[in-house]
């Protein structure tokens, strides 16, 4: 492989990136050497091979993973991803990010993540159900409200969570809603969960714009990925007077310097399965991350901003709705350009925060109305943003390094207090 290709492949490795981000922050903290090694590695990684009877009567075996990165601050928490390219390394990286995310927003969870190598597009609903139930059954020793609490991630949804609740409950011989979050409202889900990540993105952008003295009213927004996180962020920002000038998804990209009408675009995407052809804007030919705007929200996939395109970014603020959209090499370039990056472990933590509320409500048996959920979310997010900003100003580091520093300090504090068992 040519050197440039090999370098790029290394730059796009999520586990290597998660480790670099950790090292960058950890090297600035006075951590006991041994302890640093303990929290770098996942606590436990499980591989399961799952036999499933397909609709035609044949048997297929799918490989699945569950990684618990840390349980120091509470049960492992993190989603389950169904994707043909899932790897153990990717799940390890995502599990570590969950540890830091939960610590940044100061909720009592550790970090975990799961995945199954499969293409859900090619499975029938009943095959998907049997696969999910087998995964949940095989891992039911790990899962539990006190030990490991999964949630939806790429290609898993409320229905998948309902199947896991049912499978786990059958094994336990009692209904246990708190074993997963992101459930349907009727099965112990939380009001406001669907909008929670986008609402958190809005709250972070609002705090950042106040800090940078960039008015939100009239700010030009570009959103990559017009799914749950991207569309809710755009909608809520529009209500604050910001203008959506460009939006992209897998179907294509559209722009309008005078503003795309967000509600109409959301309706159009629901009817046409993508932004492509939206009559309220023109087709965007250039990459959306390079679009002229004040705030860029990558809300699609990892590795969208790399050393190759970082110097063409025009946004003043990047609000990471997606996990891992910016590589560490790109971070360095953006920092020299003065771009204010709100890192994923802070920016998209609204989802796990409301998942925490869902878990609390399941355990209390008391369900808060949406207004109360939103109020608590705002308090949690604003506090977290201000903690990270204060760390960033104190140590003269960017927001990503500061967020990791806050998170690592919180995890280490608990580990020191608890001590190492045996
Ligand atoms: P989603 O499936 O609802 O939306 C994803 C969007 O990205 C879709 O519009 C899709 O068309 C678009 N997309 C995919 N590939 C693209 C490409 N190459 N270029 C442009 N657009 C592309 O998913 P979501 O729940 O909105 O999640 C988006 C991101 O946010 C993911 O990285 C996810 O891990 C992260 N995230 C989500 C939550 C949550 O609560 N949903 C919480 C934290 C982080």
Task: Please say if the pLDDT value at position 40 is more than 90.
Answer: no
Which ligand 1 atom sits closest to the C-alpha of 344? 44
Å from CA of 249 to ligand 1 middle: 9
Q: Residue 289: which region, alpha, beta or left (left: phi > 0; alpha: psi -120 to 50)?
A: alpha
89-124 pLDDT, tens digit per residue, is 999 999 999 999 999 999 999 999 999 999 999 999
Å from CA of 317 to ligand 1 middle: 19
How many Cβ atoms from other residues are within 10 Å of residue 332's Cβ?
14
129-165 pLDDT, tens digit per residue, is 999 999 999 999 999 999 999 999 989 999 999 999 9
pLDDT the model gives residue 2: 55
Best substitution site from 101, 105, 193, 249 to test ligand 1's pocket, by max atoms within 8 Å of Cβ? 249
Å from CA of 122 to ligand 1 middle: 20
How distant, in Å, are the alpha carbons of 41, 183, 301, 332, 368 from that of 194? 32, 10, 19, 33, 15
Q: Whose CA is nearest to atom 25 of ligand 1?
A: 228
Residue 68 and residue 42 in contact, taking contact as beta carbons nearer than 8 Å: yes
Task: Tokens for 411, please give them.
Answer: 């995890």
Our answer to whether residue 113 is catalytic in this structure is yes
pLDDT the model gives residue 232: 97
Task: Tokens for 372, please give them.
Answer: 């109360």
Predicted confidence band of residue 3 (pLDDT cuts 50, 70, 90): low
pLDDT the model gives residue 4: 61
The candidate with the shortest Cα–Cα distance to 15, out of 323, 399, 289, is: 323
386-415 pLDDT, tens digit per residue, is 999 999 999 999 999 999 999 999 999 999
The candidate with the shortest Cα–Cα distance to 345, out of 106, 152, 15, 102, is: 102
Which ligand 1 atom sits closest to the C-alpha of 348? 43
Q: Whose CA is nearest to atom 32 of ligand 1?
A: 322
Looking at the DSSP bridge assignments, the partners of residue 305 are: 326
List 77, 101, 113, 391, catalytic entry:
113
Å from CA of 365 to ligand 1 middle: 31
Q: Which protein residues touch ligand 1 with a CB less than 6 Å away?
A: 197, 224-230, 248-250, 299-301, 321-323, 348, 351
Please tell me the distance from the alpha carbon of residue 40 to that of residue 228, in angstroms, as a whole number: 31
* Alpha-carbon dihedral sign for residues 323, 329, 333, 336: positive
């Amino acid at each position: 492989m040519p050197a440039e290709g090999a370098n790029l492949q290394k730059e796009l490795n999520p586990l290597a990136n998660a480790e670099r981000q950790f090292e960058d922050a950890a090297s600035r903290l006075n951590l006991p050497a041994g302890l640093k090694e303990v929290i770098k590695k996942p606590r436990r990684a499980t591989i399961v091979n799952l036999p499933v009877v397909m609709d035609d009567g044949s048997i297929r075996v799918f490989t699945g993973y569950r990684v618990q990165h840390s349980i120091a601050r509470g049960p492992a928490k993190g989603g389950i991803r169904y994707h043909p390219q899932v790897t153990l390394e990717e799940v390890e990286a995502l599990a570590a990010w969950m540890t830091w995310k939960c610590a940044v927003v100061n909720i009592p969870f550790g970090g975990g993540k799961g995945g199954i190598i499969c293409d859900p597009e090619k499975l029938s609903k009943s095959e998907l159900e049997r696969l999910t139930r087998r995964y949940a059954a095989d891992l039911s020793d790990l899962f539990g409200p006190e030990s490991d609490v999964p949630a939806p991630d790429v290609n898993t949804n409320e229905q998948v969570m309902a199947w896991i609740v049912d499978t786990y409950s059958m094994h336990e011989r009692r209904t246990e809603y708190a074993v997963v979050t992101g459930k349907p409202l009727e099965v112990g889900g939380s009001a406001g969960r669907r909008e929670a990540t986008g609402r958190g993105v809005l709250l972070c952008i609002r705090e950042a714009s106040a800090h940078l003295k960039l008015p939100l009213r009239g700010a030009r927004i570009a959103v990559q990925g017009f799914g749950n996180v991207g569309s809710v962020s755009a909608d809520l920002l529009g209500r604050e007077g910001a203008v959506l000038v460009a939006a992209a998804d897998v179907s294509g990209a559209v722009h309008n310097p005078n503003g795309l009408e967000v509600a109409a675009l959301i309706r159009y995407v629901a009817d046409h399965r993508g932004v492509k052809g939206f009559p309220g804007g023109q087709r965007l030919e250039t990459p959306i991350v390079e679009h002229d705007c004040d705030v860029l929200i990558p809300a699609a996939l990892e590795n969208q901003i790399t050393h190759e395109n970082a110097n063409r970014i025009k946004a003043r603020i990047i609000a990471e709705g997606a996990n891992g959209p910016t590589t560490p090499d790109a971070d360095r370039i953006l920092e020299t350009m003065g771009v204010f990056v709100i890192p994923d472990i802070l920016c998209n933590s609204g989802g796990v925060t409301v998942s925490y509320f869902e878990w609390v409500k399941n355990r209390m048996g008391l369900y808060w109305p949406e207004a109360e959920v939103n109020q608590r979310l705002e308090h949690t997010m604003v506090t977290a943003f201000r903690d990270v900003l204060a760390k960033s100003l104190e140590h003269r580091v960017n927001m990503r390094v500061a967020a990791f520093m806050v998170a690592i300090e919180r995890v280490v504090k608990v580990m020191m207090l608890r001590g190492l068992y045996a």
